[in-house]
Amino acid sequence: MSGIRATRRRRQSVLRWVVVTLCMLFFAAPLAGMLDFTTKDAQGNRTGATWAKLVDVQGVSRDYPDLAAGFTASVGLAVLTVVVMLVLLVPTMTWVRLRLPGLSRTVEFLCLLPLTVPAIVLVVGLTPVYSWVTYFLGESTIWLGFAYVILVLPYAYRSLDVGLRAIDVKTLSEAGRSLGAGWGTVMVRVVLPNLRTAVLSAAFLAVALTLGEFTIANLFSRTNLQVAMFFLGKSDAQVSVAVGLASLVFAFLVLFALSFVGGRSPSRKETS
């Protein structure tokens, strides 16, 4: 029996390495293409000039004002999206759990509804809404964050739902209330810290989605990072590709680091 199992394990590990290697080659090919493209000069020699340009922050904001503006706008959008998403979802989902359980299916339905409304469709419908937003708040790119919250809603809902399921919100909030805390204090100092991992992953999803968003910004003619990259790709493709590769590597490093944080907390729970 153990002989069979050892054979199987050996076979599994061969299969694992073959499949993973093949997929990694496919994943690596375009990334290598980006690296190759950004480290070549006009004569085809290797050069680090593009990356040197990108590291020089002042140079970038001087030579590529659109890219700098797009980057600033995307960072602002990411912050606004995360804040609005958390302020909207965490209290509502907690409140529904505590006081209005009858509404939970409605809230779930509304949160998952954007899955059936693609971004391109949302743009079509949002045109009149955004003419009002522009009328009241002005034409700044940052207000696109309101639409991005809708795009993030299903993913944020799912990860927050998992987090809320894992804790006993009712007991926690009652304990807080009976010790004299108001609802605001309960949310900020009791519920939120207990949802740390869920909030973190929801926020990461929101940031990733916001930094990668192109459809809505492009069709509303606003400049965020992706739109700036798209237009820069037509004039100075190397810098544009370098920005794309850098943001991808950055996102991967954040997620890779998060996977260690997320993996540690359950074991800590077990030992305590």
Q: Does 122 bind other proteins (CB under 8 A)?
A: yes
- The pair phi, psi for residue 142, each rounded to 5°, is -60, -25
Q: Is 62 in the site for other proteins (CB under 8 A)?
A: no
Among 6, 52, 55, 129, binds other proteins (CB under 8 A): 129
Distance CA 167, CA 164 (A): 6
Q: Does 36 bind other proteins (CB under 8 A)?
A: yes
How far is 262 from 272, CA to CA, in rounded Å?
16
* Per-position DSSP letters for 161-214, written without gaps between them: HHHHHHS-HHHHHHHHHHTT--HHHIIIIIIHHHTHHHHHHHHHHHHHHHHT--
Residues numbered 216-255 forming contacts with other proteins, rule: CB under 8 A: 218-219, 226, 229-230, 233, 237, 240-241, 243-245, 247-248, 251-252, 255
Contacting other proteins (CB under 8 A), which of 73, 80, 126, 152? Answer: 126
Please check whether residue 226 is in contact with residue 214, taking contact to mean a CB–CB distance below 8 angstroms: yes
Task: Kindly state whether residue 197 participates in binding other proteins, applying the rule CB under 8 A.
Answer: no
Instruction: Give yes or no for residue 140 binding other proteins (CB under 8 A).
Output: no
By CB under 8 A, residue 104 contacts other proteins: no
Neighbouring residues of 124: CB distance < 8 A, sequence distance ≥ 6: none
Task: Select the span of 18-26, 49-57, 61-69, 71-79 touching other proteins (CB under 8 A).
Answer: 18-26
Cα separation of 143 and 81, whole Å? Answer: 9
Among residues 6, 10, 25, 31, the one that binds other proteins under rule CB under 8 A: 31
Size of site (CB under 8 A) for other proteins: 82
CA-nearest of 33, 38, 72 to 242 is: 38
144-173 residues in contact with other proteins (CB under 8 A) are 146-147, 149-150, 153
Is residue 13 a contact point for other proteins (CB under 8 A)? yes
> What is the C-alpha to C-alpha distance for residues 36 and 54, in angstroms, rounded to an integer?
16
Shorter beta-carbon distance to other proteins: residue 138 or 263: 263
| Binding test (CB under 8 A) with other proteins, winner from 79, 83, 103, 162 | 103
